[in-house]
Structure 1
Amino acid sequence: MKRMVTGCLVLIMLSACSNSYNDPLLVDGTRNAGFDYDIVQCRNLAEGHTKDALKRPAITGAILGGAINAIGSGDDWAEDALIGVAAGGGVGALEGLDERDKTRRSILLRCMQGRGHRVIG
């Protein structure tokens, strides 16, 4: 059981390694004047809006993982519940990271477009 949980966590962590928020922006044409200044300002805006985005998914995952493992367990329910809490919290945090990354990228793109830059992705 423990090996399976560990293996699943490793696979999930590897699949969550994409970091589209930090990928360079695609611009249709040349960059406008002030692009570098605006991108710093827009990144600060995006990061400010999503600074607490990991708490809820990690806590939810920990609660669900602990409950599911404790319910489906036999004699050693406390140890299984702790494994479920750790695994569920980890999975929830990774899902939160992915969602935060997507939200930040979306805010960054809209902010740059709102400042007159021809950003397409």
Structure 2
Amino acid sequence: MKMIFAGCAMLVTVAACSNSFDEPLLTDGPKQVGYEADLGACRALAEGHTEKTLQSGAVTGAVIGGIIGAVDSKDGDRADDALVGAVLGGGVGALEGQSERDEQRRTILIRCMQGRGHRVLA
């Protein structure tokens, strides 16, 4: 039961993190001509980033959560505890993978805009 509460707390914590990819860019000075068009093109490039980060995070989290659930079983019902651990671990892993993917996309977006001559700070 403690594992369920701990897993839920972790899910809420990770889910509360903002999606940094959707936040506006911080620029140094006025926006240059073509900024909006370049922003659209760079966002499209960044959004095309692969989904492997999200998928691998969910799979890794499910495996680790299942192992921890089975090992940490106090009442001897290892199969149920492993299943709960796998579900919670998979959820946490997926959220962490999404957060990492959004961070990578934001980095791609910033570098693309800088490569097009815009003074983007973050």
**Which segments of 5 or more consecutive residues in structure 2 lack a partner in the other structure?**
none
Instruction: Give the corresponding residue for 2:56.
Output: 56
1:28-54 deviations in whole A, cap 9, x for unaligned?
111111111111110111111243320
Q: In 1, are the aligned partners of 2:58 and 2:90 still within 8 Å (CA)?
A: yes
1:23-62 equivalences under 5 Å are 23-62=23-62
1:1-121 equivalences under 5 Å are 1=1, 2-14=4-16, 16=17, 18-73=18-73, 74-121=75-122
Q: Which amino acid aligns with 2:56?
A: R
**Which segments of 5 or more consecutive residues in structure 1 lack a partner in the other structure?**
none
Shift of 1:9: 2.5
Q: In 2, are the aligned partners of 1:50 and 1:104 still within 8 Å (CA)?
A: no
Which whole-Å CA distance do the structure 1 matches of 2:10 and 2:99 have between them?
17
Percent identical among aligned pairs is 53
Which whole-Å CA distance do the structure 2 matches of 1:26 and 1:111 have between them?
14
Q: In 1, are the aligned partners of 2:15 and 2:95 still within 8 Å (CA)?
A: yes
Q: Considering only aligned residues, what root-mean-square deviation do their CA atoms show, in Å?
A: 1.5
Q: TM-score, normalised by structure 1?
A: 0.89
Q: In 1, are the aligned partners of 2:46 and 2:105 still within 8 Å (CA)?
A: yes
